[in-house]
Chain A
Amino acid sequence: MDLSVLIFLTSGLFLGWSLGANDAANIFGTAVGTRMVRFSTAAIVCSIFVILGAVISGGGTTQTLGRLGAISTLAGAFTAALAAAFTVYLMTKRGLPVSTSQAIVGAIVGWNFFSGATTDAAELYKIIATWIACPILAGLIAVPLFKLVQYVLNMAKLHLLRLDAYTRFALVLAGAFGAYSLGANNIANVVGVFVPASPFTDFTIGELVTVNSTQQLFLLGAVAIGIGIFTYSKHVMLTVGQDLAAMTPVAAWVVVVSHSIVLFVFASQGLERILAGAGLPTIPLVPVSSSQAVVGAIVGLGMMRHSEGVRWPLLGSIVLGWVLTPFAAAIVCFFGLFVLQNLFNQSVY
């Protein structure tokens, strides 16, 4: 493989690394922060299932991003991923919550503007509608799920220690599901823009399993996410755990499961086929924000108890970050492409 190819891929891998460092905390933050699950256990489970989710089920959301804008050159993809990563970095530095999904979509739209490609408005609206639906859906799932768990636990009358042991086990299982869903839903953010210009070729293992170029790209991106989890997520997990200390481990489990269901629903091609087969309307396969799904579930549980329990100004700043991210990423990408094309003489479309 040409060295320049690897250099161009670095921006996507960096985005993958930061996604692993930040979003693993949405899945295992409370469990690790409250010492219910060891960090080593969380990191291993999370990495394995992120990779499985990305390689097995990462295709659906990637196709949606491809329909929004098929970036045809490696240099263009590099800039889009770098613009998204830079926006994530800037917003994080300013203390604004940020979503990689929104950053990459903004960057793709920025590339469309620069290259003169048409942005599919219907596709864009579908993505935006999904972003709005994501936290709401997570909240709507969290409330009845919490009520159900509460009812079952009240009936079961488990000893506190037994409940603790079961909860630990359940947190690891939910974390595995969450990591799989994260890999399936968010791998498009990391390497999705490189798919049309993928430098890999298909190969077959023992004439049984064919690993196509996209899957190899997904594997590479997922490994970057795994490295992000192992190298940097512990600190984020401990912070998240302390921030949400008021939440019981059972409530934390409900949040993780709700988040994972939402990410899974918006990534599952299998579910899409089942719904289509039954003549039902399908759910769009769109990369959504893991953080926003978690926030939606937490707000849902907070409102279920009492609406005063929700810090509305904080929620306002979260929504502000959500609105600003795609615009910022689009602008950064546009200028990045301009620089790469005119200063470094690269073909960006």
Chain B
Amino acid sequence: MEFNFKVPSLFNRTKELEGQIDEFLDIVTQSGLIFSSAIDSYLDKGSSKEFEEFLAKMERTEARGDNLRRDIETKLYVQTLIPDLRGDVLSLLEHVDNIVNIYEANLFRFSIQRPDIPTQFHKGFIKLTETVIICVESLVFASRSFFRDINTVRDHVRKVLFYESEADRISTKLQRKIFVSELDLTRKRHLQYFVENIDQLANSAEDVADELSIYAIKRKL
């Protein structure tokens, strides 16, 4: 029968894991900034070397996020930490990680399909990108609150919901503008596809925020 309740090492391990979770959420924020810069670059210069560098940076960031998430998940299981909330935390980390994947997938689409976006729609694309990034950033705040200050989760979740509605509104407006333009239907559908995929970031953030609200209620019980 083993007896290993080493208090100091338990607290050290906890501190290390806290740092890793913070770093993982930093990666989500960083991915948003790379995405924003990449879209700006694409609208400005098209599929340039600069854009490809942003894509490469996004790939490295996404891979680091994946490794970090796996490491956190393994530690949570192996060290049997937060047994009552472990399932919720793992689900949260995986779904947040999925948002980073969506950032990356969007940039890959731009790189592969090279959509020709007329200047008249640039403002709409920039506005939509900014809004979805704020929406995801609000989710990052909500997630940090879930770990540190449960009472403020609700405030951040409300922001996620607000910016998701904003993103929907901007996306709809942009699609209407695209479909009333003189472009041929193939190009209209191609642009619509890109608008919808960028908007998907806000939709995913909203889904995670809904889950987070339930996790927060469970934590308060």
Contact = CB atoms under 8 A, between A and B. Distances in A.
B3 A248 contact: no
A168 B5 CA distance: 10
Interface stretch (B9-17, B165-173, B176-184, B200-208): B9-17
Nearest to B13: A165
B118 to A, nearest CB: 48
Interface in B1-55: 1-5, 7, 10-11, 14-15, 17-18, 21
Contacts, number: 59
Interface in B63-109: 80-85, 89
Contacts of A247: 221
A154 to B, nearest CB: 6
A307 interface: no
A131 to B, nearest CB: 30
Contacts of B84: 34, 245, 248-249
A37 B4 CA distance: 10
Contacts of B110: none
B78 to A, nearest CB: 12
A246 interface: yes
A140 interface: no
A157 interface: yes
Contacts of B18: 159, 161-162
Given A161-B18, A161-B82, A164-B81, A41 B3 contact: yes
B143 to A, nearest CB: 11
Interface in B128-158: 146-149, 151
Contact of A160 (B3, B4, B147, B221): B147
B9 to A, nearest CB: 10
A172 B3 CA distance: 13
A165 B3 contact: no
Nearest to B7: A169
A44 interface: yes
B17 A40 contact: no
A164 B88 CA distance: 14
Interface of A: 34-38, 40-41, 44, 154, 157-162, 164-165, 168-169, 172, 245-249, 251
18 contacts: A36-B83, A37-B5, A40-B1, A40-B3, A41-B5, A154-B151, A157-B148, A157-B149, A159-B18, A160-B82, A161-B17, A161-B18, A161-B21, A161-B81, A162-B18, A164-B81, A248-B221, A249-B84
- Nearest first, the 3 closest Cβ-Cβ pairs linking A and B are A35-B83, A165-B14, A164-B82
